[in-house]
Amino acid sequence: MLKKRKKIYDGRIIKLYKDTININNRTFIRDIIVHPGSVVLIPLLNKKTKEIILIKQFRYAIGKYIFELPAGTLEKNENPLSCARRELKEETGYIAKKIKKITEIYPSPGIMTEKMHIFIATDLIKSQQELDIDENISIKKIKLDEAIRMIKKGKITDAKTIVGLLLLKNFN
């Protein structure tokens, strides 16, 4: 399948390759983004009332603030569970007594290798945010039903967040 790979860009998080591939005895060129993977957390404050934590953060690529579930990129040789614990504390200021992986998704498999590991975090204990220097994040405590309404109204547009919230709504 892969005939030739040329590195185009080697960045802080991603690498970009121009691959020459063979499919059905025909040659094609594909631009591929190699990403180390990431985690997404569904912080569940109250199981009974389904109160969760969303974050509001500025996303430079789209030029605006959006509501999201906490998430983060895996560091070199970091396992997803360790990353999930780290990102939850950094972005929300909470520590979870229990974190359970519920699934994995590929947000853009046509062009990127990124695999997102989705976790539910429960039995949360308030601590303190430890934001990265380039992060400006506020937290929003909200009931799941209200977050679902925000999706329907177009106020939550982040794909990983929509997937996580719908998973929580439909499978828990």
Instruction: Look at residue 156 in the predicted model and tell me its pLDDT.
Output: 98
User: Can you spell out the DSSP letters for the chain?
Assistant: -EEEEEEEEE-SS-EEEEEEEEETTEEEEEEEEE---EEEEEEEEETTTTEEEEEEEEETTTTEEEEE--EEEPPTT--HHHHHHHHHHHHHSEEEEEEEEEEEE-S-TTTB---EEEEEEEEEEE------TT--EEEEEEEHHHHHHHHHTTS---HHHHHHHHHHHHH-
Round to whole Å and give the CA distance between 40 and 14.
18
- The label of the residue with tokens 């691959």 reads 19
Buried b (16+ CB within 10 A) or exposed e, 74-85: beeebebeebbb
Round to whole Å and give the CA distance between 98 and 86.
13
Round to whole Å and give the CA distance between 24 and 1.
9
Reported as a single tens digit per residue, the pLDDT across 21-52 is: 999 999 999 999 999 999 999 999 999 999 99
Token readout for 1 is 């399948």
Percent of the chain residues past pLDDT 70, beyond the cut: 99
| Residue 102, number of CB atoms within 10 A of its CB | 15
**Closest Cα partner for 31 from 18, 48, 50, 44?**
18
Please, which pLDDT band fits residue 133 given cuts at 50, 70 and 90? confident
Domain boundaries, the chain: 2-34, 38-101+119-171
- The label of the residue with tokens 């539910």 reads 120
For the cut 80, the answer to whether the pLDDT of residue 171 exceeds it is: no
Task: Report if pTM > 0.85.
Answer: yes
For the cut 80, the answer to whether the pLDDT of residue 172 exceeds it is: no
Look at the domain 38-101+119-171 and name its fold.
Nucleoside Triphosphate Pyrophosphohydrolase (3.90.79)
Reported as a single tens digit per residue, the pLDDT across 80-112 is: 999 999 999 999 999 999 999 999 999 999 999
